[in-house]
Amino acid sequence: MKTIPHMHDYFSELPEPVRQEIESRCRQRKVCKGDALYRQGDSPDEMYQLITGGVKLCNYSVDGREFVAAEFRPGDCVGEMGLIDGLPRVSHVVATTDSLVRVLRKADFDYLVETYPEFSRQVMLTLCRRLRWAYGLNAEASGLSLHQRLTLHLYRLAQSHGIRDEAGALYIGISQEELGRMLGASRQTVNKELKALMEEGCVDLRYGKIYLINLEAMCEQYEAILGAEQITAAYNHNR
């Protein structure tokens, strides 16, 4: 299975000397499951790189519902936006399991920006990547059906968080409820749509796991859904 390059890991794309300089300026910190690296509204003075474990970036609606915007894997960086503009955090970042993170303080971040143009460039590129990702989410949320969004999301989850069991079968370790929180839908609706995907022979449902038994078909659907938008673009272009 081809995996997406860690879209949030930009330290690793830097030349070795810069990486070492970064590492020497970081401290490490242990966080327990449920602990927050930061909360919405906090004043930012650090950014983080996940070493082991997992964290999620989430928001809460007025009535307490949780929306998971992203889950991060080891290597991913998070929290640099606040260091750049100094404004309060817009989301919560919470550990989903006991984790170890590298912590880079604002003063060191600023030093790196000033000293290494490559670092600045990586930061800009990362901001662009996140911006494109956020735009994509917006477009999907307003323009696609839940069924399509679920398909897209499962396919991406498979690439970023897919796990192989002993038999080599690919699955995602996630409950239907959690999936619902990512898509902004209820557990029941997610269940219904998953059942539909099962009818199509794409997935197999287990306790706390979703097996992707036909990734090729899902890849095709993925391309079809995203490709359709391009075609529409061309259509609108020519009219």
What residue ranges bind a second copy (CB under 8 A)?
A: 36, 39-41, 59-65, 67, 69, 81, 84-85, 87, 90-92, 120, 123-125, 127-132, 134-139, 141-144, 184, 225, 228-230, 232-237
Three-class secondary structure of residue 2 per DSSP? coil
The amino acid at 45: D
CB of residue 18 vs DNA: minimum separation in angstroms? 40
Which helix (H) or strand (E) element contains residue 144?
none
Best CA proximity match to 51, nearest among 24, 31, 21, 36 = 31
Contact residues for 116 (Cβ-Cβ < 8 A; gap 6+):
14, 18, 21
Q: Which does 123 bind (CB under 5 to 8 A by kind): DNA, a second copy, none?
A: a second copy
Question: Would you say 55 or 150 has its CB closer to DNA?
Answer: 150
Q: Which does 208 bind (CB under 5 to 8 A by kind): a second copy, DNA, none?
A: DNA
Q: Which does 138 bind (CB under 5 to 8 A by kind): DNA, a second copy, none?
A: a second copy
Q: Which does 177 bind (CB under 5 to 8 A by kind): a second copy, DNA, none?
A: DNA
Question: Would you say 196 or 226 has its CB closer to a second copy?
Answer: 226
CB of residue 228 vs DNA: minimum separation in angstroms? 16
CB of residue 175 vs DNA: minimum separation in angstroms? 4
CB of residue 24 vs DNA: minimum separation in angstroms? 38
Contact residues for 199 (Cβ-Cβ < 8 A; gap 6+):
none
Question: Would you say 15 or 135 has its CB closer to a second copy?
Answer: 135
> Cα–Cα distances in Å, from 169 out to 188, 193, 212, 227?
26, 22, 8, 28
Residue 212, beta-bridge partner list = 203
CB of residue 154 vs DNA: minimum separation in angstroms? 13
Q: Which does 205 bind (CB under 5 to 8 A by kind): a second copy, DNA, none?
A: DNA
Only one residue has tokens 């260091």, namely 83
Question: How far is C-alpha 189 from the chain's CA centre?
Answer: 22
Q: Which two tokens stand for residue 116?
A: 């290494």
Question: Would you say 125 or 169 has its CB closer to DNA?
Answer: 169
Cβ atoms within 10 Å of 59's Cβ, excluding its own: 13
Q: Which does 110 bind (CB under 5 to 8 A by kind): a second copy, DNA, none?
A: none
> Cα–Cα distances in Å, from 64 out to 181, 184, 193, 222?
12, 13, 24, 32
Question: Would you say 203 or 215 has its CB closer to DNA?
Answer: 203
DSSP symbol at 55: E
* Interface with DNA (CB under 7 A): 145-147, 175-177, 184-189, 191-195, 205-208
Question: Would you say 105 or 147 has its CB closer to DNA?
Answer: 147
